[in-house]
Amino acid sequence: MVKLSVIVPFYNVRQYASDTLKSLRANAREDFEFILVDDCSRDGTPDILARAERELPGAVYVGHEKNGGLATARNTGIDRARGEYLTFLDGDDWLAPGYYPRLVAAIEDLGCDFVRTDHVQCTARARTIQRVPHGRRGEVMDPRRAILPADRTTSVDYPYAWAGVYHRRLVDRGLLHFTDGLRTAEDRPWIWRLHREAESFAVVGLLGVFYRRGVAGSLTQIGDVRRLDFIRAFDQVIEETAADPEADRLLPKAVRTYCAIIAHHLSEIDKFEPPVARQLRTMSAAAIKRLPQELLTDVLDTMDLNRSSRLRRLRRRVSAAKAAS
């Protein structure tokens, strides 16, 4: 029986793929499988993965015929996975030797639906430890209790799918798949759904994933229209949270987070291509209009001045346009 399935999407990461695969080899075990999903790369990555399927113990290579994005590639891996537990890794990141055996031991010892872990953020030569924003470690808890408070950074603000391990019963319950086709922020509806609907989780102080930031070609470095998918992702968070039996408690957090993300993108609008920047303003204004207006007012009244001012201007623009029509 396969104990752990590791799902690793790749897209045009030829210069990093060998390091990623080497780190997987340093985590191989006879009951582990590595599902290597190429999302229609054009830079020679498929050749590296085809060779890895022959040389890396437990490797399974799957190639997409057309590019579908990270969410779709992860879903391909989930559908092929046979493990009792599942985890993720991105094709340009890497692992510490022996990390996955320790990760599996942690979730088996705790017996919960999913476990979240810290990670190491790597930007050029700099290394920074990023902690799960949750104080209690090694204690099984109700995931809903980690969503709030609304005005603080909580576990739903730490969405990285690869920073954890997940029991197969989450797949069986329809909780582990991502929203197909999302090009960015695909992990936001995903992490919110996990925390609303899973029954148990824990956080452990286990470091082993090295997350590479500032990679040329990644969506965080590109100002094209794909980055605007964050709006579709957060619209989903708002819609699903509004339908929750505890919407009155949870929705203020979702609205506040959405506003913070909109403000962040607007603060970096000069990094977008001009037509995309215009589209960002238009789509952000429409998103502000769709939010529950009473909750929006509460959020703007309690946000810091820079972000609230930016969002108030956007809101006034919506009101002015509505009045003019």
The pair of three-digit structure tokens given for residue 83, joined into one six-digit string? 């493990």
CA dist 206 to 99, 160, 200, 280, Å? 8, 15, 18, 38
| Spatial CA neighbour of 43 closest among 90, 11, 9, 89 | 11
Section 196-225 average pLDDT: 83
pLDDT digits (tens, 9 = 90+) for 48-96: 999 999 999 999 999 999 999 999 999 999 999 999 999 999 999 999 9
What band does 152 get if pLDDT is binned at 50, 70 and 90?
very high
pLDDT digits (tens, 9 = 90+) for 13-38: 999 999 999 999 999 999 999 999 99
What band does 324 get if pLDDT is binned at 50, 70 and 90?
very low
User: Is the model's pLDDT at 276 over the cut of 80?
Assistant: yes
Res 305: pLDDT = 95
pTM of the model: 0.93
4-215 belongs to which CATH class? alpha beta
Section 123-130 average pLDDT: 95
User: Is the model's pLDDT at 322 over the cut of 90?
Assistant: no
pLDDT digits (tens, 9 = 90+) for 280-318: 999 999 999 999 999 999 999 999 999 999 999 999 876
pLDDT digits (tens, 9 = 90+) for 69-81: 999 999 999 999 9
The pair of three-digit structure tokens given for residue 132, joined into one six-digit string? 């799960």
User: 59 pairs with which residues across the strands?
Assistant: 34
Three-class SS of 34-96: EEEEECCCCCCHHHHHHHHHHHCCCEEEEECCCCCCHHHHHHHHHHHCCCCEEEECCCCCEEC
User: Is the model's pLDDT at 319 over the cut of 80?
Assistant: no
What's CA 83's distance to the chain center, in Å?
21
User: Is the model's pLDDT at 320 over the cut of 90?
Assistant: no
Q: Which residues contact 122 (CB under 8 A, 6 or more apart)?
A: 210, 211, 212, 213
Q: Where are the domains of the chain?
A: 4-215, 222-324
Q: Which residues contact 91 (CB under 8 A, 6 or more apart)?
A: 8, 9, 10, 11, 13, 16, 17, 20, 45
CB of 86 within 8 A of CB of 166? yes
Res 220: pLDDT = 52
CA gap 325, 321 in Å, rounded: 6
pLDDT more than 70, % of the chain: 95
User: Is the model's pLDDT at 218 over the cut of 70?
Assistant: no
Section 89-117 average pLDDT: 98
